[in-house]
Amino acid sequence: MEIAELGEFGLIRHLTEQIPLRNPETKHGVGDDCAVLEFEAGRQVLVTTDLLMEGVHFDLQYVPLKHLGYKSAMVNLSDIYAMNGRPRQMTVSMALSKRFSVEDLDAFYEGLRLACEAHGCDIVGGDTSSSLTGLAISITCIGDARPEDVVYRNGAHDTDLICVTGDLGAAYMGLQLLEREKSVYNQQLKEAKQRGEDLEKLPPFEPDFSGREYLLERQLKPEARKDIIEALAKAGIHPTAMMDVSDGLSSELHHICTQSHTGCRIYEDRLPLDYQTASLAEELNMNVTTCALNGGEDYELLFTVPLTQHDKVADIPGVKVIGHITKPELGLLLVCRDGSEMTLKAQGWNPLKKPL
C-alpha cells in the first residue's frame, strides 16, 4: 500500500492505534497536539534524542526495517540507562521518500514496539514528513530517576575502578562483515550487467555469514543493558560516573576523564572480547584491540566505582574491571600485553569530522 493512500494522519493512526500505555506517568499518548505526562514529586526527568540518517548511520541494502526500528529504540533506551534511569516514554519522528510503503513502516514499527515492550516504554507521539534524500529517524526518549540515583560523567575519582559490561568490538566487526558481503553482491551485479544478463533472473545472492551470527546480532540488534542497571541497584552499587559505549571505548573514556578532570589506565589483556570478534579481525587482517577501543555501537555500559566496591562489582555477571582512574597529570594510557604503555586517543565514531 502506498503511504499516499492513508495520508499523514491516517498513517499515524495506522501505526499507533494499537500501542498500549504501560506507565502511570503517561496520562495521554498519541492523538492530540501533545502527549500528557505527570511525574511524581521527588523524581528527576531524563530526556535524550538521537537522529539516524540513511547513508550515515544505516544502509538499507542490508539492514532490515524491523531491525532498524528495534535498534533505533535501543540507542535511546541505552542513553537513559547510562544515566542510571528508567525509560518511560518515547516519541518517534520520520522523514521518508515515496519508495517506502505502508508495509515497510509496519515492519519498522514492529521492531520499535518489540524494543519498547521489552523495556516498559510507552510510545506517545512523534511526526512524519516527506524526504527527498532518504530515510531520517529522530527519536526522543524520556526517563526518570530519583535525584540521588542519577549518575553523570563527571564523578570519577582517582583510584576508582573502570568497569565495562559485555564485550567490545563485535558490533564493529558485524558491520565489516555486512560491508564485505555487500561489496561481493554489488560486484556480482556489476559483472552480470557487463555480460548483458537479465538481473531479475539472477539466482538469489547468499551472503557468507556462517559462524558469524553473533557479530551480525550485535550490529543489527543491540541490547540496552537494563539488566546491569538492575544488578547494580540490587548489589547496592552507585557508580561514580557512567555512560554507554556508542562511539567507541577510547572516546567514551576521554569524555569521562575530561569531565571528571582525571586520567586513566586500562589494560589490554582485560578488554572483553568475543571469540568471533577476534577470529574475524584476524581474517580481515585487523588489530582486534583497535576494534575494541574504537569500533563503537556496542551499547554496553562504561562506569566507575570506588575501589572499596571491587568484590561487589566483580560478582555481577557480565561486568569486567578493565583498569582504574588516575590523577589527570598521568594522562590516559593503555597498558599493552607486553607491559608497554600507549596514549589512548579518541578515535571512535565522529560523523562530523573532516574527511582524510
Map out the domains of the chain as residue ranges. 3-145, 161-174+216-343
Strands (E), 166-256: 241-245
| Start-end of H helices in 43-125 | 65-82, 102-118
Task: Output the pTM of the full model.
Answer: 0.89
Mean pLDDT by 10 residues, the chain (356 residues): 69 71 77 70 87 94 97 96 95 93 95 96 90 92 93 96 98 96 92 86 88 96 98 97 96 96 98 97 96 95 97 96 98 96 78 47
| CATH class name, domain 3-145 | alpha beta
CB neighbour class for 341 (10 Å; exposed up to 12, middle 13-18, buried from 19) = exposed
Strands across the sheet with 86-96, in order?
A: 44-53, 136-145, 86-96, 122-130
**Buried-exposed string 78-115: b where 16+ CB fall within 10 A, e elsewhere:** bbbbbbbbbbbbbbbbbbbeeebebebbebbbebbbeb
**pLDDT at residue 34 in the model:** 63
| pLDDT value, residue 155 | 96
Of the candidates 164, 168, 169, 160, the one whose C-alpha atom is nearest the C-alpha of residue 303 is 164
Phi, psi of 76 (to 5 degrees): -80, -40
Residue 75 near residue 246 (C-beta atoms within 8 A): yes
In this structure, which CATH number among 3.50.30.10, 3.90.650.10, 1.10.3720.10, 3.40.50.720 belongs to the domain 161-174+216-343?
A: 3.90.650.10
